[in-house]
Amino acid sequence: MSLATIAITTRNRKEDLVKSLASVMTQSVPVEVLVIDDGSTDGTSEMVRNQFPQVQLHRFETSSGLIVRRNRAAAMAESPIIFSLDDDAFFSSPFVVEQPLREFDDPRVGAVAIPFVDVNTSPEIKQKAPDANGIYATYSYIGTAHAGYTDLTKRYISWYKTGVPPATNQDVLYYFYRIHSMNLVATHDIPVTWLLGDVSDVVYNTLFLTAPAQLLVSSGTNSATYSLGSGLQQIRTPFAPGTQTFTVMRNGNPVASVQGPPILSSITNYDYFPASGYAYGLQAPTNLVAHP
């Protein structure tokens, strides 16, 4: 019986997917592996069938977007715990699945932020626990690029259906931005001309606050602090290349904090998908429980 489901959504990244699946197949515990092909035209599905016949492959002839396909994979998963893996990412050891599974022994743990390295930016290990002797709660984590849109949309869908704005019972911080300047020129891509929309080199923050607080924005060499009231707040800050960090402070204490992907100073290809993410305020002790 599979202890977890590893779900990978993919489109036209056949070579990257080979490395990703090879790392999945070495995991030390039984796993169900789902690959959702979002209309690839580069032979992705054929590669999976030939090289990884044990994988459950589900191919769609047309593309609906990776978030739609992730939701589809979640609905199809037969295991109680899902690991969502990007098609250009890979597990660094055979124990990446086994180790987080142990944390779910505590009934208060509903999700685990797995340490990772963004090889395109630095060798730094992100989301690493302070030590290996306990389970640590965090009020933020780095997830997929569309995570912020997905979570924020749920609020507005509820508002639309009921006609009543959702109650703000917990602090929430969202960020949205492109990962390179609109004027940056890619070295290996066709020229791009902006035709529609108000395109600016800014970070957009949307917040739902239970009480007045401060928002600290650090964007590369730029920084700004905003004093905000309770309820819905929307902020724009000019961005700069480098690390992007957002923190909500109240009475001198951090309430919610999240770090997004860095904004690039040079690119080989244009990236048309804005980064997004979010952090919920957490009212919990730092160390929940230590393993015996």
For residues 79 and 191, give the distance between their C-alpha atoms in angstroms, rounded to a whole number. 45
Whole-number pLDDT of residue 146: 61
In which band, very low, low, confident or very high, does the pLDDT at 166 lie, cut at 50, 70 and 90? confident
Residue type for position 71: N
For residues 221 and 112, the model is more confident at: 221
Q: What is the pTM of this model?
A: 0.57
Q: Give me the mean pLDDT over the 147-151 stretch.
A: 69
Inter-CA distances, 25 with 31, 51, 160, 226, Å:
9, 11, 44, 48
Strand intervals (E) in 98-140: 116-117, 125-126, 135-136
In which band, very low, low, confident or very high, does the pLDDT at 48 lie, cut at 50, 70 and 90? very high
Cβ neighbours of residue 156 closer than 8 Å, sequence gap 6 or more: none
- φ, ψ of residue 64 in degrees (nearest 5): -115, 0
Mean pLDDT, rounded, of the chain:
84
Q: To which H or E segment does residue 70 belong?
A: helix 66-76
pLDDT in tens, 250-279: 999 999 988 888 898 988 877 766 788 888
Domains of the chain, start order: 4-104 (3.90.550.10), 147-289 (2.60.40.10)
Q: 179 near 265, Cβ under 8 Å?
A: no
